[in-house]
Amino acid sequence: MNNPYEILGVSQNATDDEIKNAYREKARKLQEQDYGPLSDIADRKMQELDDAYDAIITQRRSGGYSSQNTYSTYSGSSYSPPTYAEIRELIRKNLLDEAQIMLDNIPETSRIAEWFYLQGMIQQKKGWTNAAYDNYTKAYSMDSSNPEYARAFQGINNQRNGGYRTSSGRKDDDCGFCSICQGLICADCCCECMGGDCIPCC
């Protein structure tokens, strides 16, 4: 991989907050751009950003960061991945950046359905509907028997489609025929009061 600091456009002396802000800004710009049929390019660019951010944070947490102008590859021998319960708690507290860091620190080879589900949760909370949809879809496809993933997939799908509603705008239990009947009964009462009979009894 290329120097991750160069990918994020920051120096190796940048603070953690500067690293985070650079990542978020580049990710936001990618989300705003419409690549159309070339969406795979955006996916690759986003993956490159994710990998760069992951490499920097992992290296710094492992004590491999140095203020010198060198970049060493992290071996990962002493790295202990976070638990999904910890990540869920961060998301629940709306600490999305911290949750994202912990998700990014989980190796790609260890990313199960829950990883994609939690990634979708973070993206949905940030308003990145399309990216959230992709990750919810991935989680659901990996474990379609999980009701939590199914609800998330269905919910984001409805959100993208504008939700469900009937064409007439009435509630589902409204009955057009019953409304007609009520109108006729009302008309008959009026006629009888005036000496007529709209609906004869016999």
The distance of Cα 72 from the centroid of its chain, to the nearest Å, equals 33
Q: Which amino acid, one-letter code, is at 159?
A: Q
- For residue 49, give the CATH number of its domain: 1.10.287
pTM of the predicted protein model: 0.45
Q: Are residues 56 and 110 in the same domain?
A: no
Q: Are residues 44 and 12 in the same domain?
A: yes
- For residue 141, give the CATH number of its domain: 1.25.40.10
Residue 21 lies in a domain: yes
Q: Are residues 113 and 150 in the same domain?
A: yes
Q: Are residues 156 and 90 in the same domain?
A: yes
Range of the structural domain that residue 131 is part of: 84-160
Per-residue pLDDT of the chain (202 residues; tens, 9 = 90+): 578 888 888 888 888 888 888 888 888 887 777 667 667 777 788 888 888 888 888 777 765 544 333 444 333 333 455 678 888 888 999 989 888 888 888 888 888 999 999 999 999 999 898 999 999 999 999 998 899 999 999 998 888 776 554 333 444 444 444 445 555 555 555 555 555 555 555 5
Q: CA-to-CA distance for 151 and 143, rounded, in angstroms?
A: 12
Cβ contact 15:56 at 8 Å: no
Residue 71 lies in a domain: no
Residue 173 lies in a domain: no
Closest CA to 153 of 182, 121, 175: 121
Q: How many domains does the chain have?
A: 2
- The maximal CA–CA distance of the chain, rounded, in angstroms, is 103
Q: CA-to-CA distance for 202 and 200, rounded, in angstroms?
A: 6
